[in-house]
Amino acid sequence: MDDVRLNEALEGYHIDELSVGMTAVFAKTITEADIVLFAGTSGDMNPIHVNDAYAKETRFKGRIAHGFLTGSLISTTLGMKLPGPGCIYVKQSMNFRAPVRPGDTVEARVTVTDIDLETRRITLDTVASVGDTVVIDGDAVMIVPKRR
């Protein structure tokens, strides 16, 4: 891959290319391995995530994925799709609405709601869903690069 094509692959949108209403989506099925690896990486070994016997006795009646594992799919959508590589994550709010279980397919959707050309900051609505159920909602602020 030549340098020009490599740079294109490593760059997302520039601030002047964005408009309110632009949307991007990323979907992933959460596996047992994802949960175990996230527990190991984060150190969050809460038994609601890793212990079947314990989790069956909770209000969830079974194991659930870490909220931030699910939230990381929003981060993936922002960092890899919209606005994409080169952006800087400044702020994220997340409201955890429903559990995600092993085997659930989570769809993360981000939508541009505001653009400040002077500061190169954009605000995006962020939602993660399993089917018709919203599992996380909130918003994010990103700094987006200008053209070189």
pLDDT at residue 134 in the model: 98
CA–CA gap between residue 57 and residue 59 (Å, rounded): 7
According to the model, what pLDDT value does residue 8 have? 55
pLDDT at residue 104 is higher than 70? yes
pLDDT in tens, 26-66: 999 999 999 999 999 999 999 999 999 999 999 999 999 99
What is the pLDDT, as a whole number, of residue 5?
43
Checking if the pLDDT of 76 tops 90, the result is yes
Rounded to the nearest 10 degrees, how much is the dihedral formed by the CA atoms of 83, 89, 95, 96? 90
Position 2 confidence tier, pLDDT thresholds 50, 70, 90: very low
**Domain residue limits, the chain:** 3-30+65-143
The pLDDT value given to residue 13: 94
- Residue 89, H or E segment: strand 88-96
* Residue 55: CB atoms within 10 Å: 18
Confidence label for 144 from pLDDT (cuts 50, 70 and 90):
very high
CATH of domain 3-30+65-143: 3.10.129.10
